[in-house]
Structure 1
Amino acid sequence: MDTSRRGPLLLLLFAALMAGAGNGISLVAFPWLVLQRNGSALDASIVAMAGTLPLLAATLIAGAAVDYLGRRRVSMISDALSGLSVAAVPVLAMTFGLDIINVGVLAALAGLGAFFDPAGMTARETMLPEAATRAGWTLDHANSVYEATFNLAYIVGPGIGGLLIATLGGVDTMWVTAVAFGTSIVAVAVLRLEGSGKPDRASLPEGVWDGIVEGLRFVWHNKVLRTLAFVDLAATGLYVPMESVLFPKYFTDRDEPAQLGWVLMALSIGGLVGALGYAVLSKRMSRRATMVTALLTLGVAMTVIAFLPPLPLILALSAVVGLVYGPMAPIYNYVMQTRAPQHLRGRVVGVMGSLAYAAGPLGLIVAGPLADAAGLHVTFLALSVPMLVLGIGAIFLPALRQLDER
């Protein structure tokens, strides 16, 4: 295959890798800075919620911004602002001292980063169909590799984050995050791809709000998109607290930052293998069967983790969780990309993402206080049992049968 044809796709994948790695480092660093300060799971939940609560509105706006301003431009602006939000941590520490880095400041900066990140992710995802066509790849293949790249970022990011915290400290680790975002900007800046520049204004509504409403209406009236949105909302709400609060709380109490990095790496390694394997799996197993199997397996694995077994078993189960979760994102992407018209793609991706992000704060509101009051074991069970119920319920959802329709 001609390298020039693959160039845009490779640049897009590299940008996703760098931006994802920056977010992966933040995933470890922000909770660690809070827990190292006072050991409170509630405070860690506050910062984690600050990193997810803005995502609901931000992703809706991001989808409209991509359609209105152009995909390349939005990707670069988003990464620049995300990089500034994490670089502010060491800058404030150098200027005013470490005492300024309290829960409120960390929550504010995490919230700013979360507000900017969705625009970059949405912009890169909406460029994927054209990049795949240019490279001569099928959409399933491109989505599989793209999501594997994203998971690879969360192998590199948390792993490096845990090691850097152990050697440099949580504050200076944020410099690495800022550099990762800067590298993503450079990759997108040299990318040239049809449909990534200024959009055709004639195909857009008069106002941004009208555009957002149009995207919401499209998703609501599309049965399979609507069902997937609510399934993703529930699964995300049950999964995010485990990764963002419960595992950090468990390993902070044990003063084991490197082990936290290993667990998050195991989740991402499993996700990497699962996402890459989907390109092959999709030829042998229906999308519906893949989705139902993933949800059921997630419930079982999370239930065993709830009993806080030895570290090797936690690592193995985390890898299983990532493995079965890996194919889900390529399926979501495929449905959005094939159901939405080109001029609506950004807003449809934004609507779907915002509904999933809405569940994160709800799960964190419950998980943090419950972990402080009842312990990690009870809190893990409170997340894993509903995940099992969700998997069983998915078997009977008729809309999921449309996943395999052309």
Structure 2
Amino acid sequence: MASRRPPATPGPPARRLGPLLLVEAATLLSGTGNGVATVALPWLVLERTGSPTAAGIVAAATALPLLVSSLLSGTVVDLLGRRRTSIVSDALSAASVAAIPILDATLGLNIAAIVVLAVLGAVFDPAGLTARETMLPAAAAAARWRIDRANSVHEAMWGVAFLVGPGVGGVLIAAFGPERTLWVTAAGFVLSMLLIAAVRLPGAGRPETRPAGIWHGTVEGLTFVWRDRLLRTIALLTMALVALYLPSEGVILPAYFVAQGAPSRLGTIVMAMSAGGIVGALLFGGLGHRIRRRTAFVIALVGTGIALVGLAALPPYPAMIALAAATGLMYGPINPLANYAMQTRTPEHLRGRVVGVMTSSAYAAGPAGYLLAGPLVEWLGVRPAFLVLAVALLVVALVAIPLPSLQALDEPPIHPPAPVTAPLDEGPVPLGEQWISTARRDRPDDRA
């Protein structure tokens, strides 16, 4: 009598790199467009007005609505779905940015029009950013990548975008002017939209669990972040870093190089920062397991402060390039570590809202930094104003060293990422992003 063959044991899901490549390519294109705008918009304002304060006002007006839109963006993602939110966000951003050269060619531009259109373009960005970032764990699981590796590559893509974008922006400004250069930003958003439309991932479509409403969902995200000691500390540190660092790119360095009539040099300095950030993020992805996460975070903070103080002294141009690269290199591990904290301490159904809240904490400090930087430059001059902001950033980094809450970076994950070798019957629950074994699924505290 013939023996019966035992049923085959389900193996791990097939490896799919496509979704991860699409998400990262969309991130690259969208970020490149924003990188071009980083140099084109302040250059446009300074060219029209010659006033660093006007540039600071435009930058602050652009950053202020980002606080509200980024705060709500995570709830929008959890309500509408990740893919749909990313597509709509990119489409609206492309339209608002393209309106600047169109208006300039037809009715003419003034500062009020630039502010309004820049604000509209910036308002839609956080939703797309949040949507793509919340797809990352599922994309990593499909590719059978560990989440720390995916985080490092994701942040490196942002670095590549801001390496290419400002350099391209500086060249295009010199060749065609800042108005026409903004067409590149619009094109980046359109291409990003088309790539995300092709993404097929668990959880990228219509959400299975939705918040009760925009306000209720946002409050849930805020409450969760505030009650988590690590996420609360990272959010507050991020606010300080952004308020003190962002004006260097948006006001101080543009004012310095406009006075020299050297747009390409501005682009090169920002590119050097981005190149350093790429290397720093990738080095952390490859070597981060050899050092405690808290130690890596503190070293990155302090190193960033020291390098920025050197850059703020405005040494000869070759030294500025080296210090800009060092600033990016030291900052490289910070965002992957922050992403890891969000992904391993947040239940899956809240991830959009938590990413939105953490993003808004950065945007919250932007307007204050911009509004401070413009008058500070006019009062003290470029070099003293830069030094004041850089030294303040270093002080914040030194204060962070003894904070006990950062020790939580080395604690076991509360919501660990899905293991890429999990069998199908114990696969990711519920959307391919976090894993709960069958022995633990009946515990209410473990349910995502």
Instruction: Tell me the equivalent position of 2:360.
Output: 354
Among candidates 20, 23, 26, match of residue 9 of structure 1: 20
Instruction: Tell me the equivalent position of 2:138.
Output: 130
The answer to whether the 8 A contact 1:39-1:253 is kept is no
Letter in 2 for 1:132: A
CA distance in 1, matches of 2:270, 2:282: 18
- Are residues 1:86 and 2:100 paired? no
Displacement over 4 Å in runs of 4+: 1-4
Aligned pairs for 1:6-405 within 5 A: 6-96=17-107, 100-200=108-208, 203-405=209-411
Percentage of identical aligned residues: 52
Displacement of 1:3 in angstroms is 9.5
CA distance in 2, matches of 1:282, 1:107: 42
Letter in 2 for 1:236: V
CA distance in 2, matches of 1:60, 1:399: 23
Displacement of 1:395 in angstroms is 1.0
CA distance in 1, matches of 2:62, 2:278: 23
CA distance in 1, matches of 2:88, 2:254: 31
The answer to whether the 8 A contact 2:93-2:120 is kept is yes
Displacement of 1:204 in angstroms is 2.9
Unaligned runs of 5+ in 1: none
> Once the two structures are superposed, what CA deviation does each residue of 1:302-349 show, in whole Å capped at 9, x if it has no partner?
222222111111110000111111111111111111111111000000
CA distance in 1, matches of 2:305, 2:333: 16
The answer to whether the 8 A contact 1:302-1:380 is kept is no
- Provide the secondary structure at the position in 2 that maps to 1:137: coil
- Provide the secondary structure at the position in 2 that maps to 1:309: coil
Unaligned runs of 5+ in 2: 1-11, 413-448
> Once the two structures are superposed, what CA deviation does each residue of 1:224-271 show, in whole Å capped at 9, x if it has no partner?
000110011111111100011111110001000011110010010001
Displacement of 1:295 in angstroms is 1.5
Letter in 1 for 2:405: A
- Provide the secondary structure at the position in 2 that maps to 1:127: helix
- Provide the secondary structure at the position in 1 that maps to 2:64: coil
CA distance in 2, matches of 1:405, 1:262: 40
CA distance in 1, matches of 2:167, 2:14: 31
Structure with bigger helix share is 1
CA distance in 2, matches of 1:204, 1:187: 25
- Provide the secondary structure at the position in 2 that maps to 1:181: helix
CA distance in 1, matches of 2:248, 2:212: 42
CA RMSD of aligned residues (A): 1.3
- Provide the secondary structure at the position in 1 that maps to 2:313: coil
Out of 282-291 and 130-139, give the one that drifted further.
282-291
CA distance in 2, matches of 1:167, 1:22: 17
Query: Alpha carbons of 1:260 and 1:335: their partners in 2 closer, same or farther (altered >3 Å)?
Result: same
> Once the two structures are superposed, what CA deviation does each residue of 1:188-234 show, in whole Å capped at 9, x if it has no partner?
0111111000001xx33322111100111111111100011001111
The number of residues matched between the two structures is 401
Letter in 1 for 2:142: R
Please report the TM-score for the alignment, with normalisation by the length of structure 2: 0.88
The answer to whether the 8 A contact 2:15-2:144 is kept is no
Out of 151-160 and 280-289, give the one that drifted further.
280-289
The answer to whether the 8 A contact 2:221-2:350 is kept is yes
CA distance in 2, matches of 1:106, 1:329: 31
Instruction: Tell me the equivalent position of 2:443.
Output: none
CA distance in 2, matches of 1:344, 1:119: 15
CA distance in 2, matches of 1:93, 1:124: 32
Displacement of 1:2 in angstroms is 11
> Once the two structures are superposed, what CA deviation does each residue of 1:265-298 show, in whole Å capped at 9, x if it has no partner?
0010001111111112311122211111122112
Displacement of 1:102 in angstroms is 2.0
CA distance in 2, matches of 1:103, 1:286: 49
Query: Alpha carbons of 1:89 and 1:292: their partners in 2 closer, same or farther (altered >3 Å)?
Result: same
Query: Alpha carbons of 1:317 and 1:3: their partners in 2 closer, same or farther (altered >3 Å)?
Result: farther
Instruction: Tell me the equivalent position of 2:421.
Output: none
Instruction: Tell me the equivalent position of 2:417.
Output: none
Letter in 2 for 1:336: M
CA distance in 2, matches of 1:287, 1:51: 34
> Once the two structures are superposed, what CA deviation does each residue of 1:38-75 show, in whole Å capped at 9, x if it has no partner?
22100110111122111111111110000000000000
The answer to whether the 8 A contact 2:79-2:211 is kept is no
